[in-house]
Amino acid sequence: MKKTRNQEQAGRRSHLKKLRGRVTVSAFLLLMSIGLAGCGSNSSSPSASGTAGSKANEQAQADTSTESQAEAQTDAGNEDGQELTLADGAAKLIYMDDAYISLMYYGPYEDTGKHLEDKNGESLGSLFREWTAGNEAWGLFTSEEFPGEGHSADDVLLSVTDYSVSSEPEEFYPLTETLTEEEAETIGLDVLEGHIGKVLAGEAHCDGHGFEAPRLYIFFYDEYHDEILMDMDGLADRFSFYTEDGTPLEEWSEDCTMERETKRDYISLYFKNKDKDYNAEANEAMCEEFRALKPYALYTAKDGTTKQFPLFPGE
């Protein structure tokens, strides 16, 4: 017999009360220790795929070139090959304010629906997937239209419905625990100067006058989410670029000059052929030569620690 709307709401509120505070720090860290051992480190390059979300137009290039990273990465949290269910799920908050929220979700992704609710069952809007790790067991979700005024992490819940099951079960995950920097890096995110984000390489583009190296996209998912690189206390300037043998990219070829430019959320490197004649074929060959040198970006933090990010990940 089909439930009435009042019965459904009453059942939901009862379910919410049972799930209140369900995901503890110890349970969350247990999931990480079991499933994420060996995935990511400060000194290694990122090994996860970027997927378009609310910044779809800006991340499209990065998404395409990082698919191979996800294939090479160890399955995040699902190494035994068993299919995840909602009962395996967990969530942790990254950041929220009056208009924005970001969180990490662990659990099944395909054929599921996700949105936010308060503890009274009122919808707080949908979410966009920004990035996934490995086999999509971990996912980063954001909303740039989050009605956060008057709400705190204590009364916001992530609702996930599994549409692959005929009964369409729904689970609620509290966001009372915050993702730490160590947890973020273990999952595969990047932490720069204490800010959680993701560094992704785009695609190379050749034309008749030269070629553009893969753009280095730098996204943040905390209080820096709406900042532009030019206003981040010189953060973009702390990136330098080299070939595998340590040669600065501006010196790798005598046949071209490098033009570097910082945009809102990426760094662009354009190599202009010194030969003024239009020669697309020669520039494509130069681009392939550049790729073979395994170029990378090196980030040097204020404390002197470094991180590498390959411009052609997975190669």
pLDDT tens digits for range 4-53: 434 444 444 444 333 333 333 334 444 444 344 333 334 333 333 333 34
Please tell me the least confidently modeled range out of 2-6, 137-141, 182-186: 2-6
Segment 257-267 shows an average pLDDT of: 96
Q: Does residue 171 carry a pLDDT above 50?
A: yes
pLDDT at 12: 44
Please tell me the least confidently modeled range out of 35-44, 155-164, 232-241: 35-44
Rounded (5°) CA angle 260-235-61: 55
Start and end residues for every CATH 2.60.40 domain found in the chain: 5-35+75-183, 189-310
Q: Does residue 56 carry a pLDDT above 50?
A: no
Please report which confidence band the pLDDT of residue 81 belongs to, taking 50, 70 and 90 as the band edges. Answer: low
pLDDT at 279: 77
Please report which confidence band the pLDDT of residue 299 belongs to, taking 50, 70 and 90 as the band edges. Answer: very high
Please, what is the average pLDDT of the chain? 79
pLDDT at 17: 37
**What sign does the dihedral 176-182-184-188 (CA atoms) show?**
negative
Q: Does residue 267 carry a pLDDT above 90?
A: yes
pLDDT at 32: 46
Give the residue with greater pLDDT, 301 vs 84.
Answer: 301
> In whole angstroms, what is the distance from residue 100 CA to residue 127 CA?
10
> In whole angstroms, what is the distance from residue 140 CA to residue 51 CA?
10
CATH number for the domain whose boundaries are 189-310: 2.60.40
Q: Does residue 55 carry a pLDDT above 60?
A: no
Segment 136-154 shows an average pLDDT of: 92
Whole-number percent of the chain with pLDDT over 90 = 59
For the entire predicted model, the pTM comes to 0.74
Please report which confidence band the pLDDT of residue 62 belongs to, taking 50, 70 and 90 as the band edges. Answer: low
Contact 89, 173 (CB under 8 A): yes
Looking at residue 231, its amino acid is D
pLDDT at 251: 95
Architecture of domain 5-35+75-183: Sandwich (2.60)
pLDDT at 80: 53
Segment 244-269 shows an average pLDDT of: 95
Give the residue with greater pLDDT, 7 vs 102.
Answer: 102
State both tokens at 135.
């086999």
> What are the two backbone dihedrals, phi and then psi, of residue 11, each rounded to the nearest 5 degrees?
-65, -40
Please report which confidence band the pLDDT of residue 69 belongs to, taking 50, 70 and 90 as the band edges. Answer: very low
